[in-house]
């Protein structure tokens, strides 16, 4: 469940590159001040920490799936073959983590630009004040726990019933496709 929360956070962040890139870079001194305040909001809200954890979790999960899939698909059965595959995947794992670590400053800059494009300078200053307060720090510290619980609720309330309805929906789709031939 924790993986799905972290994956969702990463998807929400990485899923909007086209929109973020379409935003104009701050040009005036007031825009520069707004961008500086936005950077502070991003740093105070621990985006770097949370995204790092989300990325680590995604890599760990994908590594397990890739190794398992390659083992089954290629008939890797001997201890030697498994060890070889794990060494290859360790190289991939290390390179992906290093690349993502290198790219993290660009993500932080993109996040700051996004915040600066959405919030006014006054709002950003208010967020900085809030995040520096004990209540803001508590909110930031408890956010992963809250997101995990919210994800579990969404799974129970939305996803499971949707999956339960899927066979009936697929039957309707098949019937429609068959009748339109």
Read off the pLDDT of residues 53-93 as tens digits, 9 standing for 90 and up: 777 777 777 777 666 666 656 666 778 877 877 788 888 88
DSSP-derived letter for residue 28 is: S
Q: How many CA atoms lie within 13 A of 171 on its CB side?
A: 5
Mean pLDDT of the chain: 79
Higher pLDDT, 179 or 4: 179
* 100-130 per-position pLDDT tens digit: 888 888 888 999 999 999 999 999 999 999 9
Q: How large is the angle between the packed helices 121-132 and 29-44, nearest 10 degrees? A: 30
Confidence of residue 13 (pLDDT cuts 50, 70, 90): very low
Name which of 42, 43, 39 is nearest 31 in CA terms: 39
Task: Name the DSSP class of 16.
Answer: -
Q: Which residues of 67-77 are buried (b: 16+ CB within 10 A; e: fewer)?
A: beebeeeeebe
pTM above 0.85, yes or no: no
State pLDDT tens for residues 18-44. Answer: 444 444 454 455 789 999 999 999 999
The helix-helix angle for 47-73 and 79-118 (nearest 10°) equals: 150
**Conformation bin of residue 46: beta by default, left when phi > 0, alpha when psi is -120 to 50:** left
């Amino acid at each position: 469940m924790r993986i799905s929360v972290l994956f969702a956070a990463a998807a929400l962040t990485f899923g909007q590159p086209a929109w973020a890139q379409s935003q104009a870079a701050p040009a005036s001194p007031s825009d520069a001040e707004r961008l500086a305040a936005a950077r502070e909001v991003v740093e105070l809200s621990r985006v770097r920490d949370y995204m790092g954890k989300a990325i680590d979790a995604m890599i760990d999960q994908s590594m397990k799936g890739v190794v398992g899939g390659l083992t089954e698909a290629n008939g890797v059965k001997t201890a030697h073959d498994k060890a070889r595959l794990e060494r290859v995947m360790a190289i991939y794992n290390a390179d992906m983590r290093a690349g993502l670590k290198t790219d993290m400053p660009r993500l932080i800059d993109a996040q700051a630009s996004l915040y600066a494009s959405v919030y006014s300078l006054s709002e950003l200053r208010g967020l900085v004040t809030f995040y520096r307060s004990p209540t803001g720090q508590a909110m930031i510290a408890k956010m992963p726990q809250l997101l995990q619980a919210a994800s579990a609720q969404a799974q129970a309330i939305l996803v499971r019933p949707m999956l339960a309805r899927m066979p009936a929906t697929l039957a309707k789709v098949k019937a429609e496709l068959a009748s339109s031939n």
